[in-house]
Amino acid sequence: MAKKARTRTQTTQKLRRNSARIQRCASPNTTWLVTVSGHDVPGITAEVTGILARHNVVVLDLAQAVIQKLLSLSFLFQTSPTRHDEDQIFQEILERGSELGLKIDFKKIPVGAANTKVEKAVQHYAVTLIAEIVTAQSLHQVTQVLARRKLNIDVIKKLSEDHFGCLEILVSSAQGVDETSLRKELLEIAKSQCVDIALQAEGLYRRAKRLVVLDMDSTLIQGEVIDELARERGVFDQVAAITLRAMQGEMEFDESLRQRCLLLKGLKAEDLIRVYEKIEVTPGAQDLIRVLKRLGYKIALISGGFTFVAERLKERLGIDFVYANTLEVKNQTVTGRVLPPIVNAQRKADLLEVIAQQEKIVLDQVIAIGDGANDLLMLEKAGLGIAFNAKPVVRERADLAFSQKNMRSILYLLGLSARDVAQVVQENA
């Protein structure tokens, strides 16, 4: 009993000291910043806002964060120039905070400072870090770069659920940003720290994407279909040699495709089906498409691969549009011809634009995902081009280089949390 009495006496003395301090600081037209911290329980925000509401103050800003059940809640508010009861407002907040075991801090803001019109930042960006575990070292290096470039961190939030695997940092700049050099610097950190780092303009179009265009081979599916067909036919080495020449710039894609298809002459229709049945969809691809479709996105598959695989994936995964090359089959046998028009790099980019126009979607609302050099024009045309586990030349030129093995992680780039994704996946399970 004596201990409880001492505690009540200490609390009363503390409240009196704080009340006296408030009265000395209080004046008409005063703006206050109040911070509430302590163990989080339901109803704390309601308690504070209830006090503010009863006194009809003007709330200018607020922010709340909870980490491991520890709450930090801040209010910026202003009283009317004709009011003189700020001491009463704070007395009530302090008393209720004491009853709830909370720490209350308050700060008087200079007259006019909170209402001064702030010059709008020229640019806003979202920086997303994705890894198995985002390390303190990678976080330090990224924030160090942002500080050096005078980018102000406005919001930091964890998007992953059960581990520290994804962090989104929203930043702003009133001085302008050299995006190319900043992206290059972040890419160097990504390489050294084994973390994916995405830099995106933060605004309406980042949150209002409507069309996703996917490459097929080594993106939506694992491996290259033409390589598997070559193995089935026993001509893998010859096909690989032509592919290498094309990659080295010694041969145009169209010609290399014709020559490789010619080597496939004689394959039977059942061989094609057998190759399709061996195909593995990239981990997370089905969830990616499922979530995007639930959010109203259109999904397109534009591939330099073959229609006999692409059309089956369309039915299997619920894809809206499919464009790919047609390997001619007559009398249940591959003739070795690829039917025109060939889906090459330029046609991929053109088809992306055609689909966008058809669906009345502006290019800034389009995401393109691919891994090869023949995807570059498509990636550059889209509002957001993602190099997914791509070749070096593609990684360097795409908006974002992504090395995660699970395509589900791409949803983080749209600002979706793991909880958001899990909810949609469960709804469609």
CA distance 380 to 367: 10
CA distance 202 to 179: 13
Beta bridge partners of 106: 34
Q: Are 68 and 38 in contact (CB under 8 A)?
A: no
* Amino acid present at 425: V
Q: How many other C-beta atoms lie within 10 A of the C-beta of residue 162?
A: 6
Q: Which residues of 253-277 are buried (b: 16+ CB within 10 A; e: fewer)?
A: bbebbebbbebbeebeeebbeebbe
- The DSSP element (H or E) to which 108 belongs, if any, is strand 103-109
DSSP letters for 124-176:
EEEEEEESSS--HHHHHHHHHHHHHTTPEEEEEEE--SSSS-EEEEEEEESS-
Q: Are 212 and 292 in contact (CB under 8 A)?
A: yes
CA distance 236 to 226: 9
CA distance 35 to 32: 10
Give every CB contact of residue 73 below 8 A, 6+ residues apart in sequence. Answer: 35, 36, 37, 44, 45, 48, 62, 63, 64
Tokens describing residue 235: 């001509």
CA distance 218 to 220: 6
The residues carrying an active-site annotation are 215, 217
Give every CB contact of residue 184 below 8 A, 6+ residues apart in sequence. Answer: none
Q: Are 236 and 168 in contact (CB under 8 A)?
A: no
Q: Rg (Cα) of the chain, in Å, rounded?
A: 29
